[in-house]
Amino acid sequence: MKPTRTAAAVAVVLLSCALMACSSGAGPEEAGEGRSVVVDASFDIKTLDPARSFEPTGSVVNHVLYETLLTFDGDDVSAPVDGLASYELSDEDRVVTLTMQGDSTFSDGTPVTVDDVVFSLNRVKQIAGNPSFMLEGVEVAKTSDTTLTLTSEEPNPTLVYLLPNPSLGIVNSKVVQENGGSADADDAAESFLNGASAGSGPYVLESFDATSQIVLTANPEFEGEAPETSRIVLRNVSGETQKLNVQSGESQIAIDLNPDQVAELSPDELNIQTASSRYTIYMMMNTDPAVSLATSNPKFSAAVKSAIDYDKILALGGDGAERPGGLVPTSLLGALPVEQGIAFEPEAARVLLEESGYAGETVSLHYANDTTVAGIALEPLALSIQSDLKAVGVDIALAPAPEATELDNYRSGKESTGIWAWGADFPDPSNYFVFLPGENVGSRAMWQAGASPNIDALRAEAVAASGEEDRSAAFQELQLALNEEGPFIPLLQPALHIVTDRSIASVDSNLVWTIDLASIRYA
């Protein structure tokens, strides 16, 4: 939303006030029944309309503006827990029956009803924005004043892992409809929802500017445990400035510092919390001989996998970084243990390289040089890989470019090799089907549908698996095959660093919404 002059002026005043209040060194101050806190982040946000929002900063904010049918307990995303409703899976995981808890009210004091839920979910489906894929093939039906069902065309155990996503937050249907909203393509409520919230979460929206700051205030009608913070100012600030602000006391929380910036902070003066991020950084090798004769050769691909020193890559990730055994992050169901991941075997790499017939031709390694992944720059990873491959006889030429330029080459399948990252859209291993032949990411490596009957069969087994134990085993088998046959190499899972001043005792993080602003607890 483009801010009006008045809104822009208010934003400047609010920012100035926040800076003046905090620059005194007093930290968060008492504000009525609670406290005020300044949180610095690097914004990635387009809208606060939950049915249209699917960026990380939007998830941070919408998580505390809108309650969801199901949620996660702190940082544990292994299984959903009750939110606005409890749930049961039936009919071979095709039907989710949800029973409302009946104890939540919207910020205007009206109860949250099944009708609000049906409207909200159908609105996500019919608007067909970025989050709509989560309800694709799902029919939403009210079955009583306290229950509804979500029915999938095919078995869908993933659905319950999707329901905690803030984009599926429940809106006040009456208020949204009064302001242009509808559960169809004619919906026009986005502008309203960028200026005022219509949820039942612990906070309400005071102001929103996608380029500078977002201000939240505690919701007096919230029926759950009241947050200790009454007012939150979330500011759009670069990583280096975040570090300076949290050191000086101009902010109390920083959530986008890279490992080098964190290493410069004193744990005696600040609290430094490290958690798993949502990202897997990986290397891609193109399977199309027209793009690269070398990378399309399975023996060459296997040689590259064996030539990379993964411990050296891990060290570049800094404290808290992890090496995933496969593409699925370590914190998710079905993650492959690192000891079952690809091994660093340079002698085997040399043998495979000779068997491939590689004649020393130069292979380009592409990556974005103007962006980071959870604070990790890609160039040091590229340099490490270049050095490792040179040691076994592969000539790698680095080909950095701005992300806006390189992303087009990647999406069109023109890169011979590249370093990219995938952030989980939802905390379930099925999100990583995108790496399979013919799928979104698989196609970027020109790995087309039907390229691997073995992978196709293992995918079918993973889809059919039911229950945590069977699903975990099926996805691990699939990842073992991907490590063996696929054109992707899992490199690194960066850490998420949350830095707070000493006045804050704890704050919860989560792979889906990064940080739970309502969970801030004071020392």
Quick one: average pLDDT of 241-261? Answer: 94
Q: Which region holds residue 128: left if phi is over 0, alpha if psi is between -120 and 50, else beta?
A: left
482: CATH: 3.10.105.10
Q: Residue 424's pLDDT is what? A: 85
- 378 and 483 in a single domain? The answer is yes
Q: Which domain holds residue 216?
A: 5-270+497-522
Same domain, 240 and 285: no
At 33, the pLDDT band (50, 70, 90 cuts) reads: low
- Per-residue pLDDT, averaged over 294-314, amounts to 98
Domain identity same for 163 and 311: no
230 and 329 fall within a common domain: no
* Contact criterion met (CB below 8 Å) for 163 and 66: no
> pLDDT of 359-390, one tens digit each?
999 999 999 998 888 888 999 999 999 999 99
We report the CATH number of the domain holding residue 139 as 3.40.190.10
Residues 265 and 293 in one domain: no
Under DSSP, is residue 395 helix (H, G, I), strand (E, B) or coil? coil
Q: Do both 185 and 59 map to the same domain?
A: yes
Is the domain of 487 the same as that of 501? no
| pLDDT at 18 > cutoff 50 | no
E strand or H helix that includes residue 79: strand 76-82
60 and 126 share one domain: yes
- Per the CB < 8 A criterion, the answer to whether 157 and 93 are in contact is yes
Q: Does 145 share its domain with 61?
A: yes
Q: Does residue 164 sit in the same domain as residue 299?
A: no
**Do 262 and 291 belong to one domain?**
no
Tens digit of pLDDT for each residue in 269-282?
Answer: 999 999 888 899 99
User: 330 CB contacts (<8 Å, ≥6 apart)?
Assistant: 276, 322, 324, 338, 493
- pTM for this predicted structure: 0.84
Task: Domain count for the chain, please give it.
Answer: 2
Least confident among 13-17, 79-83, 161-165: 13-17
- Are 116 and 239 found together in one domain? yes
